[in-house]
Each structure stands twice: as C-alpha cells, then as structure tokens.
Chains A and B, each alone.
Chain A
Amino acid sequence: MRGWKPAPHVLLLLPAFVVLAAVVVVPLLLSLYSSFTPFRLTRPETIYTFIGFRNYLRLFADQEFWVAFGRTVLLLTIALNLEMVLGLFLALLVEKATRGQRLLRTIMMFPMMFSPILVGFQFKFMFNDNIGLVNNALQSLGLTDRAIPWLIDSHLAFTSILIAEIWSSTSVFAIFILAGLMAMPKEPLEAAKVDGCTPLQSFRYVTWPFIMPFAYIAMTIRSLDIARAYDIVKIMTDGGPAKRTEILWTLISRTAYSDARMGLANAMAYVAIFLSILFTILFFRQLAKARQQIGAEW
C-alpha cells in the first residue's frame, strides 16, 4: 500500500463508515439476499440456493398475507384518524390551561412511558371476558348481562387492539400539536377576532393551517409505528384467535420463527417496508406543502 495516502477527511470518516457498514448495510443486504432464497432456519444450507423472485411471486398470490396487509392498513388508517382528533382535542384543552400546564403535559406523556408489552398486558387484562374490568363494569352497571367476548370476536378484538394503540399513542399527536400551538404567534388570532371570526372560524382559518405541519410530523411518526406494530397485538391476541387479528409483523414473525421460513418472511418484511416508505413519502409531501403554506422558517 505504499504511495496510497487518503485525504485526512476520508481517513477521519472511515471508522464511521466501517461501523455503519457492519451494523446496518451488511445485515440489510444479507436479509435482502435471503429473501431470494428458500432459507429455513432448520436447514441452514438452504441459504445458498438462489430462487430469484419465487418468494415474492408466492406472496402476491398468498391471501393470508394480503389479509394481514389490509388489516394493518385499516388499523393504521383508523388509529391515525382517531389519534389525530383526540390528540388535537387534548392539545387544545391543555393549551387552555392557565395553571398546572407543565404537570398536565407530564401526565399526558405517561402512556408513552409504558412499554408496549405492558400496555398489551394491561388491556389484555381489562378486556378479559371473565375477570376483565370492562365486562365487570358493564355488568355492574347493568348495561349487559352476559360476558362480551372482547378478545375473541374478530371485530371486537380488532377494536380492543385499536383502543390499546390509541391509548398508548394519542399523546404523540397531542404533544406535536401542542408544540405547534405554543409556537404559534398570537397576533394573527387577534386579527382574526377583529376581522369578525367566531372562535370556530378562527380555528378553522388561522389555527388549523398553522398546526397542520405539526400534525403531519406526528402522522409520519405514527404511521411508521403502526406499520411496524407488533408487541401490543402479540400480547393481546397473538394474531388470533384463528388469525382473526393477524397483522403484518405478527404474520412475519410467525412465518420466520414458528414456520422457520426465513426467506419467505424476509420477502414479506421487504414488502412491509415498502408500505412504510410509501406512507413516509405521502406525509412528507403533505408536510412540505403545509409548511410552505404557512411560510414556515423551519
């Protein structure tokens, strides 16, 4: 290697590149490659068999996969919308508080501090048809006289998961929107009042356009979250019963480890990532547009 003298900046950046390559690029390439093999954990030598796009072709014809895919998108859509509305509401309430706002903000963050596993267990307990709080409460109030099979009926189980998701993450929206509200200049609001706006009109024409970019940031984050959702569902229903609440990542982990079909699972994962990328692009577009609209300087 005599005579090869890298420029100092290359030399200085080299360690970072090496580390990045080792922990990110190599595993990524490896998993991408394995999605083109029939790799099974039980038969390690299968990783050397290259089968081209066969895993992907198989996937596209696999109804189970598309049902899980569709359910994930449905969960994402409903959860995002409800979280958005609730988070907005919460943020507006907290912003109005003249006293104890810091305390309220801290309390608001509590659900985010719980591990999703714990949230899953909590809600699994609450929605338990025999000993759960929800049924107990409904029955003591005389609203129903039989046990509702929350985690067993497919619609109810989906709803239960939705509630757990929303409970744990509405504060993401609330916090971003609250940040937006607090950063918002107050004068345009006063100008709107003088210009004849009712409080509702002020919100619609002045406040909302201003906090929209903040809502889009929260949406991007949360769409990635839900597209990767796993823990809560795993704990509450494990995709069951009879795959009635199977979502993408519970299906992927089952395929990879229970069925030991790592190659196929990796192919699924790449399709799932594609979904995430799609949502990210979508929301970033909206964000850019909204930012430009309010002439944001950030």
Chain B
Amino acid sequence: MATVSLKNLVKKYGSLEVVHAINLDVADREFVALVGPSGCGKSTTLRMIAGLEAISGGHIHIGDREVNNLPPRQRNISMVFQSYALYPHMTVAENMGFSLKIAGKSQDEIASAVADAAKTLGLEELLERRPSQLSGGQRQRVAMGRAIVRHPDVFLFDEPLSNLDAKLRMQMRTEIKKLHAKVQSTVIYVTHDQVEAMTLADRIVIMRDGHIEQVGPPEEVFRRPATRFVAGFIGSPTMNLHNALVSDGRLVFSNGDTLPLPGQFRDRVTAGQKVIFGLRPDDLYPTGHGIHSGEAAEVHAVEVPVSLTEPLGNETLVFAEFAGQDWISRMLNPKTLRAGDRINLSFDLSQSHLFDAKTEQSLRG
C-alpha cells in the first residue's frame, strides 16, 4: 500500500505563502506528473512529501501513515534530484548501495541488490567509477539506480531529465517508463516538460502559482482543458487563444472579424458575454493540408494572408493573420508558402474551446 494523499497542504516562507492548501490523492502504483511553469511550487510540494521541507499547514499521508512530522528516513521514499546529488566521494556501487548500508543490510545483500539495479540500468561497466568520471546521462542513471535499489513505497523525481540533451532525454524517458512498468511503485514526477508528462504519466497535475489548476489523465487535460491556463500550457505548439465577444450566434473579434459560434457552446453562452476562443494548431490548417477530426463537420474556411512560416520537414507551421492577430496553423504535406501569400484556412470548430474571459474557466459542460 503506497498511496500518497495531500490534504490542504500549505507552504509558507516567512509570510510568503508559495503553496496554497492543495489537495491531491495519488493511488497505489500510479504515475503522477506535476507540471507547471517555473516557480509554481512543484519542487516545494515534492520536497514536502519527501520531508526535506517542513510543512506550514495541512496533512500528508503515505499509505495509511500520517507523515507530517516524520523525518525523510522514516517515510520509505526515494528521491531523484535534478542535480543528481550523487555522493562525490563514493564509487557508483557505493552510491547505489549506500541506503542499504545505512539500513544495516549484509554485504552480500547489498552487492546483489546493486548488481540487479546496475543490470536494469546498464551500469555494470561503471560500478567502480566515481561520479566525477561519468557523463551526465550516466550520472542520471546512477541517481535512478540509487533510488530503485531500496524498493521504496514512493519514488519522487524532481526534473530528473532536465540536464540532458534532447536525444538522451527521449531515451531516458523510455527507460523510466519501462522501469515503472517493472518496479510498479507509486511515482510522483516533477517536470516542466509537458511532453515528458504526457508520455509518462497516468495522471497529470497542472500547477500554477501554488494552486492546482487541473488533475486528469493526459488525454483529458489535452482534450478538455478546464481553464485557459491549462489550455495554453499543455500542447505544443501552444493553442491559439484570442478574446472575442458573443453576439448574434457569432464570435466577434476585436477588429470586427467573426467566426460562427461552435455548436457545442451555443446553449452555454449568452449574447454580450466576453469569452476566450481557443483552437489548437492541429485543428487549424490550410485547406487540404490537415486531418479532419471526423466529428460533426463544422469546418469554417476563411481566406487570410500568411505572415510567417516555420518548415519542420514533415510539416510546416504557418502563421496567418486573422482578426488582427497571428494564428498558428499546422500544414501537413507542406508546400512552399511565402509571407504575403493568401491561403484558405480551415477552422475545425468542433474541436474548439471556449473560456469565460473573467473566470478563465472552460465553458464546456
């Protein structure tokens, strides 16, 4: 049993409150990713769970124990730090076996546990090296090895891949996924890379300024963002989000351009309401160069000028001007476009999002 539950968890530094009474329940063996912009309180939350940071209010339970006042060593957790935090004076093997040594395990037990972990992580050749003789990726794997030898109740990761280059990061992402399938522990994983969160997590927790904005499976936070912030944070390139006014069954943008009000929202808005219209670049494409969502056809085409293109090889991001602003659209099977060219842009309105301009909450049911 290794559930983790946070109840009204608060963290204050002096009079500055950085985590505001958050609630979260993590199921046994669940992989939960904490994402959010820099400074939103992800690390602080993780460190409170680890016991490295005193909590200023609320409760933390691991399993059925309240751990509020327990030191880290009594919480049966492992943590992988962003900077790896390896012991510089110990060899790789000693680093990985250290927690077992402290726990008073026998030499043989330690050796076999370390050998197991080394095999899982492909570190067999490096066991006698010191951290200063390892590459970044190797250090990262040692840090993971140190975490897994103990079979803890809960793994805590604080941006473990952020110091690696893109290719290695992708490789390690796969490794972590395999590892989780194998060791089957509860994982709380902090990252500000949303791709990591989407690919690894069972559920994603999106934080902002010390609050939790939304909790849900990757698919859900992507397809049904609860707030404007989540909509803008999840997904790459970011969702097109523009202010509009509801009027007469249409959305009127600041310069007077209009779009039809998407059918799904027709009963949820009132005339004169200020809203934010959102559409992902995937659902906005030069006509004939996108994939239709297949849902109740509600494609609206407008002729607009191109202002900029970013060719990516298999696709091109086209920035086109509509309603006085640039909108990002995704062109599959790209053809060459130049700034100033006029194109026909398809808006797949069945995939659009609408948020109240004041509360920034989704207007979806």
User: Which residues of A are at the interface with B, using a C-beta cutoff of 8 A?
Assistant: 185, 187-188, 190-198, 201, 205-206, 209-210, 293-295, 297
Contact = CB atoms under 8 A, between A and B. Distances in A.
Contact of B89 (A191, A198, A293, A297): A293
Interface in B7-66: 50-52
Given A201-B102, A205-B98, A295-B130, A194 B87 contact: no
B229 interface: no
Nearest to B52: A190
Contacts of B338: none
A209 B89 contact: yes
B73 A295 contact: no
Interface string B101-140: 0110000000000000000000000000011100000000
A194 B72 contact: yes
A194 B50 contact: yes
A198 B104 CA distance: 13
Contact of B85 (A187, A196, A205): A187
A192 B98 CA distance: 9
B258 interface: no
A294 B88 contact: yes
Interface in B71-108: 71-73, 77-79, 81, 83-89, 98-99, 102-103
B52 A193 contact: yes
Interface residues of B, number: 26
Contacts of B98: 192, 195, 205
A295 B131 contact: yes
Given A201-B102, A205-B98, A187 B81 contact: yes
A193 B88 contact: no
A196 B102 contact: yes
B146 A195 contact: yes
Contact of B102 (A197, A209, A297): A197
7 contacts: A185-B85, A190-B81, A193-B51, A193-B52, A194-B73, A195-B73, A195-B98
Nearest to B53: A190
B73 A198 contact: yes
Nearest to A296: B88
Given A194-B50, A195-B98, A295 B89 contact: yes
B36 to A, nearest CB: 22
A190 B85 contact: yes
B73 A188 contact: no
Given A188-B86, A205-B98, 14 more contacts: A185-B85, A187-B81, A188-B85, A190-B72, A190-B81, A190-B85, A191-B79, A194-B77, A195-B146, A195-B150, A201-B102, A210-B89, A295-B130, A295-B131
Contacts of A191: 79, 81, 85-87, 146
Nearest to B73: A196
A188 B52 CA distance: 12
Contacts of A197: 73, 102
A196 B99 contact: yes
B102 A195 contact: yes
Top 10 A-B residue pairs of the complex, sorted by shortest distance between their CB atoms: A187-B85, A295-B132, A195-B99, A191-B85, A196-B73, A294-B89, A193-B72, A209-B89, A295-B88, A196-B102
Contacts of A190: 52, 72, 79, 81, 85
B288 to A, nearest CB: 54
Contacts of A210: 88-89
B83 A187 contact: yes
Contacts of B86: 188, 191
Contacts of B131: 295
A118 B146 CA distance: 55
Contact of B88 (A188, A195, A201): A188
A194 B131 CA distance: 19
A86 B50 CA distance: 34
A295 B86 CA distance: 12
A297 B131 CA distance: 12
Nearest to A198: B73
Contacts of A295: 88-89, 130-132
